[in-house]
Structure 1
Amino acid sequence: MSFDAMAGTRGARQPKGRVMRWMNALMARRIGRGSKFMGFDALVLRTIGRKSGEERRTPVGWFPGADGSRLIVASAAGAPKNPAWYYNLAANPEVLIDIDGTTIAVRAEQLHGAERAEAWERITAAAPRFAEYQVKTDRELPVIKLTERH
């Protein structure tokens, strides 16, 4: 399936700016060695910028998928637009993640339909704040499945 989440027309203010980039870099260093982020199991998503071609490292919370995959949500805290890393994944879905001191090659896939609904139920049961983010915006928050490449 494709990466096809549209931006919304309303939502919370998306965190950004120099301080946010500094915080992301700090958290990415800590998480890459094995840590939690805002109470979640966390990983560092290593994407390639779709415009710059440069590697981008973004800390994100993850949830276990039913098939052993990892699920992440492009929530941007309920902002009207998807986070930049979502568009980087759309342009290049074969990426690396750093988790517990290990780098793993994965393929990213946006979930749709019943598969997304089942994953969303699991995610919001484990972390109700994602349901709160969904209420803030009129876009459907994309759920991305990361599957290990061999």
Structure 2
Amino acid sequence: MKPLRPRLARKLGTQPWVMSLAKGIIWLDKRLHRVFGGRVTLVGIAGLPSLRLTTTGRKSGLERSTNLLYFPDHDRIVLVGSNWGRERDPGWTFNLRANPEATVGVRGREFPVHAQALKGEDYDRMWARLLEFWPGYEMERVAAGRELPIFVLTRREP
């Protein structure tokens, strides 16, 4: 039997009203990250895997960071550009497409990664696995009216 917190979080993640709380959830998660140096996140408190992705802004060239839920896939990290069901892909997806080299922070530890967008059959296979992990992605896909981008991140040498 799966632990209660992740089960509850996954159930809540399929409720449309939760998407309306996105701004508050993001605000709180940023504060937790700052106060606890990345060791505590709202997603982590819910018992789910979370990370801080730092990309290079495709236009500005500046570092841009965001906290995200991720799907652990053996030695890879899988991210979904759901953007809380909004019509547009999140900014970090544009940055990764322009420059796939990024940094990931997990529980206060950082390491460099290389991102690859999934397409075709690889996308379809991963999408099925992602829906088992986080069923709310389907609700977000429908709300967004777009295919949600999937990126696989692999660790690289610094």
Once the 2 structures are TM-superposed, how far is the Cα of residue 75 of structure 1 from its aligned partner?
A: 0.4
TM-score, normalised relative to structure 1: 0.78
Q: Distance in 1 between matches of 2:118 and 2:149?
A: 7
Correspondence for 1:68 among 63, 72, 75: 75
- Length, aligned pairs only: 136
Q: Secondary structure at the match of 2:70?
A: strand
Choose which of 26, 43, 46 in structure 1 pairs with 2:31: 26
CA contact (8 A) 1:28 1:57 kept: no
For 2:93 and 2:61, the matched residues in 1 are separated by 15
Tell me the residue number matched to 2:7: none
In structure 2, list runs of 5 or more residues that go unmatched: 1-18
Q: Is the 8 A contact 1:24 1:58 kept in 2?
A: no
Which of structure 1's runs of 4+ aligned residues deviate more than 2 A? 19-25, 27-32
Q: Which ranges in structure 1 are unaligned for 5 or more consecutive residues?
A: 1-11
Greater RCO (CA < 8 Å, at least 6 residues apart)? 1
User: What residue number does 2:94 align with?
Assistant: 87
Is 2:142 aligned against 1:135?
yes
1:37 corresponds to which residue?
43
Percent of matched pairs sharing the same residue: 33
Q: CA RMSD in A?
A: 2.5
1:117 paired residue number = 124
Amino acid at match of 1:61: L
Aligned to 1:102: 109
